[in-house]
Chain A
């Protein structure tokens, strides 16, 4: 199960602006973008348990909301870039969340991996890919995918 955490739009301007600025630095000019954080929790939990994890542990109730399937972002024509650490690379946040899940549910998942998603409305997948590899990922440690959202 992938739990996706979103900063509410009214609090997300700073992170979006920073991200758009870095894309511009890599030669890709866009006006809007959305960012989210991803937790891939590999466990036989029920839907209710995943909901509990998402709401009680992974989401800041004031500034964030979550979705258990790729959520809506209000952007037209956007690509979704999903970035993870390669499975062979230690995922520090994932390990830490794994322990915290045990604190909340009383049972530990098999693995937890932490990643990011970026929603970028742009005309050219190729250009986006170029920018992504310039600023967001390092293929030595990351794996990523770009999909039309």
Chain B
């Protein structure tokens, strides 16, 4: 290998590719040749450290080459060309909307929007994935995923204080009998370990894990998805950061070790049996908590000019990013190490966890050191930002990297990806009628994608910081499934007389994505917005995050799904007036099973959404509150069973997905929000996974009340069957419990909209649903709850 490095610029293609795989860089031939060209131009051979730096900086994880690259999308006879798919869809929507409450979008580690009425605060929000590490070492992978996204929030602007963690997981079905390859873990073990990892990290660091989801599909058997998010509060005058030439480079928190080599390139490569141990790490939450405590104090005292997290690429990315204008001179021998058996270039690219990089003016170093010592937080001074625009990295006398910054951050070679629309046969025939709707409902409530998540949620400290006012589990027995979480960040603002809060929710629907990726994106944004509405959040101020996970982008159909979903994201964001403020993507979520069969994941788009809650005391929950209150169904029920949980349980013969009418939804939602804010609504719950029958059941058993429901006059598309009415998952619908003495006021507010009274809450613990004179089912709510309240782990 040393030989290959010493004549790198003249290596033929074959040897280049061999070198790449030997070193584990995951660079494409085009990129390798670009590196060759650059070093030829400089008239010298690269060092290992320089090639490692290039591999990290140009990796899929750091540069998002696929989503931000050129794409040719063939759809029937037409071809649409994108120069930068991400910019022309996701970013475009944000630019079009141009909301002035968006304080920072797509530039920093997280997006930032205005928070509260005081004008003093911003809310930073970010979600990430940590899929490949979780497939290999689910516990450590989940821990370090949580730790990583928290550091994104600590490293946004001059640092935000984390007040909420989110987690959404996708696994293969737990009871599956499929034979797995030797090197993979069973979904049951992956799930248990991932939950334990999120639990042990989030609980130890003292951030409530209070919002998320759980989704099962055998497409995730070999490639589990682990989405982790974090939201934090930042003073608006701490959003700008700028390294000043002469600032010291200070690394605080964890030490550097061999345990973090090659995470960035690892996240782009297919997993195989040779995946090395060093890429996988165990998290150290306590070290990160020390870092958090130090940062918050030092930030408020103005002790540093810039901060960023050591994530993928380690020092090379973090210091490279902070010094992209000033340059950076780094002395690797100053690094605090876990293990002395480590090469200089390994120190430079190691992704050891729990490290943050600060740019500290020399005059403030003493004060910073005092705080670091008071919090028992380790640190080292790694060098300085000189202002000459050069990246010079040395270990004693040995030069590890000597490159102009412009080379690293300049044009990464990229090539056009081919995309094509996936062919899916759509049947919109009338669905077959089951023998008993009541029986279907009971089975559906026990379905892994519908049943209670309490066995996961109760393992998380979802109330630490004392601000989780609308909880993931709510209602009379503290176990009802909430739509959105509302956070009152008293632990960040220190103000118990300011009732400003924010809500967070999610939308996720890969089952719809298998049939219609464009509609999937629309439905997912709709679901996220509707969930926010259900707690009474100010949805006209919704900000959203996109997290795409997909199989190999070398497959044109995967790229086609991506194009359609990204276009859906654009249209939904513009339609709902909800700008994207940050996003992330993860590709190559694909692996071979024991028989060599490829397992690609379905196109998976997680929409995370947040919106302000003006007065957290007025936010509402989803459970029925009082017998005698009328129940309303808002929204029109439409035809189609496509993507439904029912279709996963039984063959309805119909896989049509009803298109979303965004304009109608926006009009409906803004009227309902007015009704909620004027105190007319006692409970609201969206109809999503499992459809309307599940929504009604959950509202009933979470409140300990029954209900008499007659859907005869509910707004519906012509020809809708009872099955579609009860179990179809057409979007933009929610159920409302209206306060009896406020009904007149409510009716005024929703006049002319498809909001229909469908019954009332009653003491007697049974749920009875009629339609057109026929009783569809009559079930005891405790029996329904027993089906639903399963122990998943």
Contacts and interface: CB of A to CB of B under 8 A. Distances in A.
Q: Do chains A and B touch in the complex (CB under 8 A)?
A: yes
Interface in A92-119: 92, 95-96
Contacts of B277: 86, 88-89, 140-141
B284 A141 contact: no
Nearest to A95: B284
Contacts of A135: 189
A89 B338 CA distance: 10
A92 B284 contact: yes
Interface in B298-355: 338-339, 352-353
Nearest to B140: A141
Given A140-B136, A140-B280, A141-B280, A89 B286 contact: no
24 contacts: A25-B188, A85-B282, A86-B277, A88-B257, A88-B258, A88-B259, A88-B277, A88-B278, A88-B339, A89-B280, A89-B281, A90-B259, A90-B284, A91-B282, A92-B286, A96-B286, A135-B189, A138-B185, A140-B136, A140-B137, A140-B275, A140-B277, A141-B137, A141-B140
Given A90-B338, A141-B137, A134 B189 contact: yes
Contacts of B139: 138
Q: Give 3 closest A-B pairs by Cβ, nearest first.
A: A92-B284, A140-B137, A140-B277
Contacts of A91: 282
Contacts of A92: 282-286
B556 to A, nearest CB: 34
A25 B339 CA distance: 38
Nearest to A99: B376
A89 B281 CA distance: 7
Contacts of A88: 257-259, 277-278, 339
A96 B287 CA distance: 10
B63 to A, nearest CB: 27
Contacts of A140: 136-137, 275, 277, 280
Interface string A61-100: 0000000000000000000000001101111100110000
A89 B136 CA distance: 14
Interface string A14-43: 000000000001000000000000000000
A85 B286 CA distance: 18
Given A138-B139, A141-B137, 5 more contacts: A90-B282, A90-B352, A90-B353, A92-B282, A134-B186
B281 A90 contact: yes
Interface string B242-264: 00000000000000011100000
Interface string B156-196: 00000000000000000000000000000110110000000
B267 to A, nearest CB: 16
Nearest to A142: B137
Contacts of B286: 92, 96
A138 B137 contact: yes
Interface of A: 25, 85-86, 88-92, 95-96, 134-135, 138, 140-141
A89 B280 CA distance: 8
A91 B280 CA distance: 13
A25 B191 CA distance: 15
Among A88, A89, A96, A134, chain B packs the most CB atoms within 10 A around the CB of A89
Contacts of B283: 92
Nearest to B341: A88
B588 to A, nearest CB: 19
B282 A141 contact: yes
B257 A90 contact: yes
Contacts of A90: 257, 259, 281-282, 284, 338, 352-353
A95 B136 CA distance: 24
B605 to A, nearest CB: 30
A89 to B, nearest CB: 6
A111 to B, nearest CB: 11
A74 to B, nearest CB: 30
A85 B280 CA distance: 12
Nearest to B257: A90
A120 B285 CA distance: 32
A99 B281 CA distance: 21
Contacts of B278: 88
A138 B189 CA distance: 11
Contacts of B338: 90
Contacts of B185: 138
Contacts of B280: 89, 140-141
Contacts of B275: 140
A25 B189 CA distance: 11
B284 to A, nearest CB: 5
Contacts of A141: 137, 140, 277, 280, 282
A62 to B, nearest CB: 24
A134 to B, nearest CB: 7
A140 B280 CA distance: 8
A139 B252 CA distance: 31
Contacts of A134: 186, 189
A88 B286 CA distance: 19
B189 A89 contact: no
Nearest to A87: B339
Among A90, A95, A134, A141, chain B packs the most CB atoms within 10 A around the CB of A90
Interface string B199-223: 0000000000000000000000000
B109 to A, nearest CB: 24
Nearest to B339: A88
B459 to A, nearest CB: 14
A65 B280 CA distance: 34
A25 B188 CA distance: 10
Among A85, A92, A95, A135, chain B packs the most CB atoms within 10 A around the CB of A92
Contacts of B189: 134-135
Contacts of B259: 88-90
Nearest to A92: B284
Contacts of B284: 90, 92, 95
Interface string B121-161: 00000000000000011011000000000000000000000
A112 to B, nearest CB: 14
A49 B407 CA distance: 58
A90 B139 CA distance: 13
A86 B257 CA distance: 13
B591 to A, nearest CB: 15
Nearest to A139: B277
Interface in B745-785: none
A95 B186 CA distance: 31
A96 B289 CA distance: 14
Interface string B447-462: 0000000000000000
Nearest to B258: A88
Interface in B547-578: none
Nearest to A85: B282
B253 to A, nearest CB: 13
Interface string B681-695: 000000000000000
A35 B281 CA distance: 25
A36 B186 CA distance: 26
A132 to B, nearest CB: 13
A130 to B, nearest CB: 12
Nearest to B188: A25
B193 to A, nearest CB: 8
Contacts of B188: 25
Nearest to B143: A92
A92 B282 CA distance: 8
A88 B258 CA distance: 7
A90 B186 CA distance: 25
Nearest to B284: A92
B611 to A, nearest CB: 37
A96 B290 CA distance: 13
